Structure 1
Amino acid sequence: MRRTFLTRLRINGSYYVLGALLLLLGAPLYQWLWLLPHGYGEALAAASRGQFSVYVLWLHSHLWAFALYRLLQIAAFALTLSLPFTLFRIIVAQEVLGRDEESGAGEPAEETAALDEGQGAAEDGQASADGGSKPLPQTAEELLAVPWRGKGFAVIAAWSGMLGILLLILGNLASTVYQVGVARGFSAGSVLMPSFALVVGVCTLVANTVGGLLLALAALLFGVVITRSGLQLWPPLWVALGYVAILLALFLIGSAVQVALAPAGGQAFLTTPAFLLFALWTLWLGLILVRLRPEPAS
């Protein structure tokens, strides 16, 4: 059971690394090396000024290039969809089983916690409170049944994080499909439908405002849960990860508010820094999970 859980965490970690690299390097490099030299920046500037016909005309000429760019972003978020509940499992293991070891063995938490030396909560899979074996909860029902202080915050963080990422995926997918559909039949002499800006704006609000706020709530609560226990229970690397999560939440909130004030623009000044920071944070977590190793048999 222990190795199964550890293997699952390492596989998920590889997904997060790949998703983060797509968001951090793949999509930006594709934009800088291909889209911007072909006039994407000017098209976005025209859209921000309300000249949507110019923007859609550019889309008509670069339909598949734009679709590929959006698909790279969607794939990046899709690869991180399980991240909130993966982090929730790790927190359960560390908060519950780590504290059991601390109280049962009478040793400092940093020496007995499952994530000691950056190995992650999944290393042990079992903890001992009284010299016996206590298996790590595996199913969602078992995880939710475990009582511990701060569980409510972690549960809210897991669900809001998953819903936030899901809305980012669905909002961007709907916007891409709609824009590609409109641009396919558009030409220089065509008249753009007045509803174009409204539909794109709604998709943007769903993805970047609602999804961004839910993701910000998840990052904030996860960060608070980890930093609340601090070095007494978590290794320094994880405590730093918790503080970065709180910083990420602030960036996401700022981006969501800016997008809500001007949804037709698609994104705001803080949107790119916020999601780049999300990519870095996800990459950090993914690398930690990929590097997990089982404890040597005693």
Structure 2
Amino acid sequence: MHFSNQTNNKDFVILGLLNIPDLDIPLFVAFFLIFLATIIGNLIILTVVWLERALHTPMYFFLTNLSFLEIWYTATIVPKLLTNLLVKNNNISFSGCMTQLFFFVTFGASECYFLLVMAYDRYMAICKPLHYSLLMDTKTCFQLVTGSWTTGVLTGLIPVLLISQLQFCQSRQINHFFCDIPPLLELSCSNTNNTEISIFILSLLVLFGSLMLTLISYVFIVISILRIASANGRNRTFSTCGAHLTVVLIYYGTMIFMYVRPHSNYSSDLKKCVSIFYTVVTPGLNPIIYSLRNKEMKISVRRVLKRFILS
């Protein structure tokens, strides 16, 4: 990715999460363990679904795409965060900063689209079970996945192209733990009004649009669940949907707080703590909530482990 702004040749300095040296090691350990659990959890999902033919269904096809996304999403942010906590290597070039921003926005937006696709898949499975296999065929699944990735890439390009045209002629210190949109806009000595409005509209469309459609899908799912005769069946399905909705609301709630709101006087430390939820926490929760709590997935994991042990 090439950037022609000649005033941006100097490195940025990322100030990091918190300026409290005593917390650096405990935070490093906590984030490293979450990062490790995220990578391992998502790799387990990818491996088990690949090896188990019984899991070659639309739901698990979407889950493997989400797992693949989460691995790269968290890898875009967390290694730099860990490095900064441990050795205070806070410099990042302008092109490196724009590249990190591009992948962060791309993966973040793609996650919104995949959460929507997965909600739609569950809506079709629960609300239209007789037509599910016909409506969610292989071609449709590939189209939904391709559309999610393509739209995610296009979403990631827009803020990078806008911000790369700004001038950064004063402070180069980014008051954050990665190259995010708000602190970069605050650093610029250009007139950022048009850029801020454009990014606000984009965030509004992506976040609120995806969230509303996702919630509508779950509303129809809940209505269908209430018609289930078995109380045990209702409770089990409500438990699953409730866990899914919890992750969705945490992810969207923190994202909306950061990107779809008027300029506020919230402290930088609060903004950075909120960012931890959608960059570190939810990528670790997704494999647990969407797959590893799933009875079918647990059985498949045990089956794969037995196969490896006996081989």
TM-score of the pair, normalised by structure 2: 0.47
TM-score of the pair, normalised by structure 1: 0.49
Question: Which structure has the bigger radius of gyration?
Answer: 1
